[in-house]
């Protein structure tokens, strides 16, 4: 599964300014709402409920909040690079500055897990993560994420 299948270039927030985890989740929900036409509150509630089960801050300044919605038919993503890292209650207690929101259809099952796994695998590449942190352009971020896909396919 390619990240390009999950993430459109217009789903990237290259310099997001937020002060809290809640504000971050609200901004991600707002962006996703504009892209997929689902009410912002519905998206926010789903990802907030998932966060209550345990933080999706996976470590190294990265978070992968996710949730399932009955009202979508394909897996969708939103990527944000935060201007300033925030406390996300991450597993390693480090502030988060790179966030990949993943929304999946309610019945996505294995595809949802494959997508989460792919995102986590890509974001373990320290060279890529450094490039993402240094970029303030949606086009550059999109290119970096997809160059990684191309190099992994080779």
Active site residues: 66
Q: 141: closest CA among 100, 84, 87?
A: 100
Q: 60: closest CA among 36, 87, 28, 93?
A: 93
Secondary structure, 3-state, 60-116: CCEECCEEEECCCCCCEEEEEEEEEEECCCCCCCCCEEEEEEEEEECCCCHHHHHHH
Do the beta carbons of residue 83 and residue 133 sit within 8 Å?
A: no
Do the beta carbons of residue 11 and residue 31 sit within 8 Å?
A: yes
Dist. CA 42–CA 82, nearest whole Å: 23
Phi and psi angles of residue 80, each rounded to the nearest 5 degrees, phi first: -135, 135
């Amino acid at each position: 599964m390619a990240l390009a299948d999950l993430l459109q270039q217009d789903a990237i927030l290259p310099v997001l300014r937020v002060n809290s985890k809640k504000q971050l989740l609200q901004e991600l929900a707002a962006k996703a709402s504009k892209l997929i036409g689902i009410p912002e509150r519905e998206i926010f509630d789903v990802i907030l409920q998932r966060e209550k089960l345990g933080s999706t801050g996976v470590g190294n300044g990265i978070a992968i909040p996710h949730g399932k919605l009955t009202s979508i038919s394909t897996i969708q993503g939103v990527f944000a690079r935060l201007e300033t890292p925030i406390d996300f209650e991450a597993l390693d207690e480090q502030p988060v500055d790179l966030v990949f929101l993943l929304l999946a259809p309610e019945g996505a099952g294995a595809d949802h897990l494959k997508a989460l796994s792919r995102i986590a695998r890509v974001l373990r590449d320290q060279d890529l993560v450094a490039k993402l942190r240094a970029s303030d352009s949606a086009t550059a971020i999109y290119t970096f994420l997809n160059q990684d896909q191309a190099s992994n396919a080779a």
